[in-house]
Structure 1
Amino acid sequence: MLGADLPGLRDCRKCSRLAEYIAKLPPTGGRTREAYWNAPVPGFGDPAARVCLVGLAPGAHGANRTGRPFTGDGAGDFMYPLLHRAGFASQAQATHAGDGLELRDLYITNAVKCVPPENRPRPDEFETCRPFLQQELAALENLRVVVALGQGAFTSYLRRLKQQGQIRRLAELPFAHGAVYRPAAGPWLVASYHTSRYNVQTGRITEPMFLDLLNRVRQLARGENG
């Protein structure tokens, strides 16, 4: 199952802290609460994708408002034009769920499906949400590369690998931007700094850095491992 078809996702309230935060989150920009998605945000993209990009969690007034990952916030404003230039997206703009954007050979989701306070999920929230991520990854039958956007998503994915017996310790695969790993089984794992507004403004991640990473991801997806 992928995206909105994941059983139980739309009505999931297992993480009480996140459910309470969503219930009280005030809207911005003159909008009403009715204009917000205010629920777990499903992934979206090409069901035949060879690449899956895993972010941290929905943004409070981005994905939590629009109902689509990285849509309507600074992280997406940086990322989608570059995905378009790299051939993974049909257009450079991502403003709302019905804007016509289509992903090509790419599926995008988050490690945690609900917006967390201060954009910081707790370890138990990663754990509770990991079965949804597992279902998405398992449904991508052509998957060859997982891109973990930020250390939180990267660590959560490593915990999945450990649960599956593919690694013994998380320290075996240290996080670094551009790091590429091939676990014992399954897809390649590529680490990236998050495309958050803060990281972009401080220069921790730049357009050339992210484009170079996307080009490497494309090579891995094609089987060009040299």
Structure 2
Amino acid sequence: MPTQVWVVDYNSLFHLGIKAALSGYPQYQISGLTSPNRISKALQNSSGIVLIGMWSSPDNPYPSPADLFQILSEIQHLNHFRVILMGSANGWFIHYLIRHYPCVQGYLHNADDMCACLPLALQTIEGNDAVADKNQQVFFHHVLSVPDLARRLYLSPTASTLALECYRRREHLLELNADDIKVLREIAYGVDEAAIAVKLGVSRQRIYTISRRLRRRFEASTNEDLMVRVMRAGVC
């Protein structure tokens, strides 16, 4: 039975590119273009692999971190899905997404040949030992700080290089404490400080203090600017 491949992107050209890349692989069935704002309904009672395009163009805006986190959270709650992201993110963002979202198992950088990389990525995360290099899997898990070796991962060559550069520089970065990370994740979802305080069961003043400290640490003027700088730094 063919594996269902769901395409999540605003741009129909991306969908056509996926069809071309998989034209010689009958084991994969593309299930049509799915708009990000209809993803939960479209994927209910289904399973398979989800491809999310992240390219920026006039008619296909790059999703904000909050938008992308929301999409990934919805997919993760549905279960039975694995995600491959495709775009031009930097190494920090690639590292963050794979580290914090278990449903994400691959990243293809647009500097690489999609027709060559996509079939390999699909077969790798499905567990095809004929194409999945064991040494490469160990390398990916180590570089991306993913302890679960049963979770198959694939990075295209450029994505792999960017992730490795991120790993080599990471030891010089300032790690955040548990409270900082909790607050940052809520801010990423667009939750304001008052609502964060209620959700975490602490005072508003405590949340205001943490958010102000984080903005000072990252030299950010707003919470939106803070999230951009945190993503670039890859410190959580």
Work out whether the TM-score is over 0.5.
no
Higher relative contact order (CA 8 A, sep 6+): 1
Structure with bigger gyration radius: 2
TM-score normalised by L of structure 2: 0.35
TM-score normalised by L of structure 1: 0.36
Q: Relative to total residues, which structure has the larger helix share, 1 or 2?
A: 2
